[in-house]
Chains A and B, each alone.
Chain A
Amino acid sequence: MSFRAAVVTFPGSNCDRDMAVALASVSGEQPIRVWHGDSALPERLDFIALPGGFSYGDYLRSGAMAANSPIMREIAAAAQRGVPVLGVCNGFQVLTEAGLLPGALMRNASQHFICRTVDLTVENTDSLFTRGFEAGQRLRIPVAHHDGNYFADDATLDLLEGDGRVALRYVENCNGSRRDIAGILNASGTVLGMMPHPERAVDAAHGGTDGRPLFENAIKALAHA
């Protein structure tokens, strides 16, 4: 089966190569690299990844400039058509700024940049990203961010929880995120934003492989679609 994935690079992205290597390692196929200024996405994409980094130097707000770059209009349209989109770290910030996911990611409550491996629990096991997990399953995946403090108003949080759209929670809240939220899904479960970096946990040499099933689940789900 062929798996056509795209990894988007913005000026200041720095996890784009890691994301491409992770996708290639899990799927066996090289993802297509897409530049922020491109006005069109490659055709027949199965998967789009927005990587971590500091797009546009985090000017204005993390992800705000990237959310308005030309390629994001295409990504929003693809997401609307149901193409799965994974945003990691800065990619999550871009997805919220672009309105593809609700809420916002604010400065960590501690004011510190946090770079360490954290424990997560899998909350949703229905989405194409999380279908292979058991509810409550623990994962150890690295975080590396300054602006990972998830905020949404109570009504939005209740809606997310009620619809099972909280995908991942921190076991110990490391950044002040409301309700310990580490990752959320859109209403159709095809767009996932998460602060932890699964692409940094796909090889034993990374110190853990807990991120790998996330990619495997998505690839498996697409193969059966």
Chain B
Amino acid sequence: MKIRIHVSLKPGVLDPQGRAVHHALDGLGFAGVEDVRIGRLIELTVADGTSDADLEAMCEKLLANTVIENYRIEKVGQ
């Protein structure tokens, strides 16, 4: 089973990297970009039947730092 874990910064947490990229997009002439936030995508291949509770525990214990980050678990299929 393929799983995608989307890790993103919580609202209100400053993202200097996103700000720099925003600036660079402005510099390239792309008008109308209002905000840029940079996160991380983690792809897992796990045994079929891996429980949601286990996936959540993986995120809580290691894959995301919930002080600063949110995560979303996406099941991509077989």
Contact = CB atoms under 8 A, between A and B. Distances in A.
Interface residues of B, number: 11
Interface size class on chain A is: 20 to 34
B65 A61 contact: yes
24 contacts: A60-B62, A60-B63, A61-B65, A64-B65, A68-B61, A68-B62, A96-B67, A104-B67, A106-B13, A106-B14, A106-B16, A106-B68, A107-B17, A108-B16, A109-B16, A111-B17, A111-B20, A149-B14, A149-B16, A151-B13, A151-B14, A151-B67, A152-B67, A176-B16
Interface of A: 60-61, 64, 68, 96-97, 102-104, 106-111, 149, 151-153, 176
Contact of A111 (B16, B67, B68): B16
Contacts of A102: 67
Interface in B21-78: 61-63, 65, 67-68
A102 B17 CA distance: 23
Chain A interface main SS type:
loop
Contacts of B17: 107, 111
Given A102-B67, A106-B68, 12 more contacts: A64-B62, A68-B61, A96-B67, A104-B67, A106-B13, A107-B16, A107-B17, A149-B14, A149-B16, A151-B13, A153-B67, A176-B14
Of B13, B17, B62, B67, the most chain A CB neighbours within 10 A belong to B67
A151 B68 contact: yes
Contacts of A108: 16
B67 A103 contact: yes
A95 B22 CA distance: 32
A64 B62 CA distance: 7
Of B61, B62, B63, the most chain A CB neighbours within 10 A belong to B62
Contacts of B63: 60
Contacts of A103: 67
A151 B14 CA distance: 9
A102 B67 CA distance: 8
A63 to B, nearest CB: 9
